Amino acid sequence: MNGDAPDRARFRRAHATMLDVIPDPAQPLSPSPAPGAAAPDGAAPSAEDSAFSRASDALQRHREPSEIWGDEREAVSLALRWAASHTTVATDPKTTARSAEELQAAVGDTITEDGIGAARAMALFDEVLLPATRSSEDPMNLAYIPAAPTRAAVAFDTVVSAANVFGGIWENGAGAIFAENQVLRWLSDLLGWPTDSAGVFVSGGTQGNLSALATARDHALRERGRRPEGGWALACASTAHSSVSSAARLLDMDVVTVPVDDRGHLTGTALEQLLAEDPRICAVVASGGTTNAGIIDDIASVVEVAHRHGAWVHVDGAYGGAALASRTARERFAGIEQADSFIVDPHKWLFAPYDCCALLYRDPRPAAAAHSQHAAYLDSIDRGESNPSDLAAHLSRRTRGLPLWYSLATHGTAAYAAAVDRCLDSARTVAEAIAASEHLELLMEPELSVVVFRRTGWTPAEYRRWSQRLAREGTLLCLPTAFRGEIALRLAFVNPATDPDAVIAVLESTMREADGS
C-alpha cells in the first residue's frame, strides 16, 4: 500500500491554508476560527486531518496586527514567496562581489528612522545585494569547501525560522531537539559509538572545535587536579585546520606541532615521544580529512598512543567526516570508534544549508561539566534531561540540525551514502584525467574528494590570472593553494551534481595555454 497519498493530501490541505493566509495582505484579516473547529464548509475534521490540524489551527488563528509593527503580512508574503521560488532556481556561479562603496552607491541608506518598507527592502535584496554574492552551491564551484544542500533541507530552514524554537533546553525545544538527536544518533552509529554518546548542533567547525577542546582542557584539569607548569597544550599536525590553532589561542593553550609521515598523516609513532616528554599536552587533534588535501590522519594509532598518555582525542571531520556515510570510505577512519569527540559540518558535505556543525562526544559528561551554565534565573532548568546548551559554548540556539533531519528523513540514509560516493567517484575520475594529461601533474592520489594538482611551468601570477578569469566568467571556481611548500591548485568535490567530465573539459580547454591567459 502506498502510505504517501494521504500524507500528500493532508499536506496539500495544510499548504493551501498557508497560502490562503500569506499572500493577500490587501484583504482585511478574517475572524479566527477556534482550534479544531469544523471546516468552513461545515464538515467535521477527519481523523486524517489530525496530523496537520495543529499547524492548520495555528495558521488560521491570525496574529492580530501589532501596535508597533502594524500588519506585517506584506513583509511576510514578500519574503516567503521569494524564498519559495528561490529555493528551486538554478545557481549563478559567477564571482560578482562589489566594493562596499559601490554597494552603498547602489543601495543608499537602508536603515532609516521610518523604515524603507518591505517592498523596497526586498527589491534591494533581490536586485542588488544577493547578486553581489557568489553561490557556494554551484556544481562548478570547487573552491574552499563549497556547499550542496538538498532543496528539502534549504526549504526546511525556512520552516525552522518560522517555528523559531528555542533549542537550548529540552523543556523549551523537546520535539525539535528529539529530531536533532535522531540525526546525532545516526552519526554516532556511523562512528561506532555507544548508545549513551551525545552531541549538539553548533554553528560551524570553528565553534565545534573550540567547544570540544574546551571540554578536553576542562576534563584534564578535573582529572589531574591542577594546571601543569607552563599551561596546557594540544598536539596536532601542521595540516590541522586553522580553527584548531585559533581555539588554542582562545583557550590559552600552546600548540605542539607534530611532524607528519611522508604521505602527510599524523601518526601515533610521531606522537609517542612528544607525549612522553610534554605533560602539558592534554589533547590531540586528528584530521578526519584535511581541508587542503583531504588527508585522513592515522586515527587508530593516534588514539592508542594518546589514550595511553591520558590525552583526549578530538577528530576534526568538519569536511571529511561526511565520508563515514559512504559505503566505501568508512575503513579509512579506523580507530574513530575510540575517539573522545568529533565534529562534522553538514553544511559542507552532508547536504545541509549554512550554518550547521554536529559536535559529538563519546561520553557527554565531561562536556556537560565544562559547558553547563548556572545562574539564579537558570536554576529551574530540568538538568535531568540532556540540554543541548550544556554541550558547547552557547546558551540560546536555533535548532539548526532540523534542515538535515528533514532531508535525511525525506530521502533516507541510502541516498546520503550514494551522494557522498558520487563525489568520491567524481574526484577519482578527475584525478585520473589529470594524471593522464600532458600539461598537468597530479600531486597525490585523493584519499577523499579533494584533488590537488599543478600546471607544469606556470608561475604564481599565471595561476592567479587563470583562476580569476574563470571565476569572473563563471566557468569554474578553482583557487591556488600551497601543497608541500609549492603553489598548486585544488578542487573540492562535495556536490553530487558536479559533472566530472565538464570539469575535465574545462581543465583541458583552458590550461593548455602556456601563460594561463
Q: How far apart are CA 281 and CA 300, in angstroms?
A: 19
Contact status: 447 vs ligand PLP (CB under 6 A): no
- Residues pairing with 286 in the sheet: 315
CB-nearer residue toward ligand PLP: 243 or 426: 243
Strands 341-344 and 312-316: parallel
Q: In degrees to the nearest 10, what's the CA dihedral of 224, 230, 234, 239?
A: -170
Contact status: 245 vs ligand PLP (CB under 6 A): no
Q: How far apart are CA 45 and CA 128, in angstroms?
A: 46
CB-nearer residue toward ligand PLP: 77 or 481: 481
- Residues pairing with 487 in the sheet: 482
Contact status: 311 vs ligand PLP (CB under 6 A): no
CB 484 within 8 A of CB 452: no
Q: How far apart are CA 465 and CA 517, in angstroms?
A: 7
Residue 214 to residues 51, 202, 211, 258, 339, Cα–Cα distance (Å): 42, 14, 5, 21, 16
Q: In the bound complex, what is the minimum distance in angstroms from residue 207's beta carbon to ligand PLP? A: 6
Contact status: 516 vs ligand PLP (CB under 6 A): no
Contact status: 188 vs ligand PLP (CB under 6 A): no
- Residues pairing with 257 in the sheet: 236
CB-nearer residue toward ligand PLP: 215 or 243: 243
The helix (run of H) or strand (run of E) holding residue 13 is helix 4-21
Q: In the bound complex, what is the minimum distance in angstroms from residue 62's beta carbon to ligand PLP? A: 38
Q: In the bound complex, what is the minimum distance in angstroms from residue 406's beta carbon to ligand PLP? A: 20
Q: In the bound complex, what is the minimum distance in angstroms from residue 45's beta carbon to ligand PLP? A: 44
Of the listed pieces 63-71, 86-94, 178-186, 201-209, which binds ligand PLP according to CB under 6 A? 201-209
Of the listed pieces 160-168, 293-301, 315-323, 465-473, which binds ligand PLP according to CB under 6 A? 315-323
Residues within window 349-388 making contact with ligand PLP, judged by CB under 6 A: 357
- Pick one of 93, 139, 168, 204: the residue that binds ligand PLP (CB under 6 A): 204
CB-nearer residue toward ligand PLP: 241 or 454: 241
Q: How far apart are CA 353 and CA 485, in angstroms?
A: 34
Contact status: 291 vs ligand PLP (CB under 6 A): yes
10 Å CB burial of residue 494 (0-12, 13-18, 19+) is: buried
Q: How far apart are CA 434 and CA 451, in angstroms?
A: 9
Contact status: 205 vs ligand PLP (CB under 6 A): yes
With CB under 6 A as the rule, give the number of residues binding ligand PLP.
Answer: 13
Exposure on the CB side of residue 32, measured as CA atoms within 13 A: 12
Of the listed pieces 104-112, 312-320, 326-334, 502-510, which binds ligand PLP according to CB under 6 A? 312-320
Contact status: 401 vs ligand PLP (CB under 6 A): no
Contact status: 145 vs ligand PLP (CB under 6 A): yes
Q: In the bound complex, what is the minimum distance in angstroms from residue 324's beta carbon to ligand PLP? A: 14
CB-nearer residue toward ligand PLP: 52 or 342: 342
| Helix count and strand count (H, E) for the chain | 17, 11
Nearest in space to 364 (alpha carbons), one of 220, 223, 212, 251:
212
The type of residue at 190 is L
CB-nearer residue toward ligand PLP: 79 or 352: 352
Q: In the bound complex, what is the minimum distance in angstroms from residue 226's beta carbon to ligand PLP? A: 31
Residues within window 45-64 making contact with ligand PLP, judged by CB under 6 A: none
Contact status: 319 vs ligand PLP (CB under 6 A): yes
Nearest in space to 319 (alpha carbons), one of 214, 231, 200, 209:
209
Which residues of this chain interact with ligand PLP, rule CB under 6 A?
Answer: 145, 204-206, 209, 241, 243, 291, 316, 318-319, 345, 357
